[in-house]
Amino acid sequence: DYLRDELPALIQTQFNVSDRCAISGHSMGGHGALIMALKNPGKYTSVSAFAPIVNPSRVPWGIKALTAYLGEDESAWTEWDSCELMLASQPQDAIPVLIDQGDSDQFLADQLQPAVLAEAARQTAWPMTLRIQPGYDHSYYFIASFIEDHLRFHARYLRDEREASPT
């Protein structure tokens, strides 16, 4: 897998970087970030997303995509659904999660539904922060407004464990 294996290995060989990783994304990329973190326990220190698709096996966009790529067998879809993966995860696999969602996002109610993932996190004791941002939609300006928060969030967990403060 290019994003999971090849790209990090390439970065390691070309730059003087730590082997600690975090992952983030927006919308479908947010879905990808969550899936990567959930399917690869221990690889990432934290995960964040802007307006991610979190429960694709239950929303129109996801059902259409999962059917096209994986067929009609809904049991095959669960390994690509963040909510299902989180509910099936082990307690020791939990990492900090930050999700920002605009309350004016036209896709919020029918496609994104971050509260469903927040409930899965609550049930499995994953440390998740879901922030609903008033007046923001699904656009670049939404991301630009909060990207610094996400970078600081990841920086907190990317620091070497010996250097990280308890706060």
pLDDT tens-digit readout, 81-106:
999 999 999 999 999 999 999 999 99
Per the domain annotation, does 106 fall within a domain? yes
pLDDT at 36 over 70: yes
Per the domain annotation, does 78 fall within a domain? yes
Per the domain annotation, does 74 fall within a domain? yes
pLDDT at 167 over 50: no
Query: Which pLDDT score is estimated for 161?
Result: 60
What domain range is 86 assigned to?
Answer: 18-158
Q: Is 66 helix (H, G, I), strand (E, B) or coil?
A: helix
Per the domain annotation, does 4 fall within a domain? no
pLDDT at 160 over 90: no
- 8 A C-beta contact, residue 61 and residue 113: no
Across the chain, mean pLDDT equals 94
Q: Which residues are known catalytic residues?
A: 27, 105, 138
Per the domain annotation, does 11 fall within a domain? no
Full-model pTM: 0.92
Per the domain annotation, does 2 fall within a domain? no
Tell me the one-letter amino acid at 1: D
Give the β-pairing of 44-50 and 97-102. Answer: parallel
Q: What is the CATH number of the domain that holds 76?
A: 3.40.50.1820
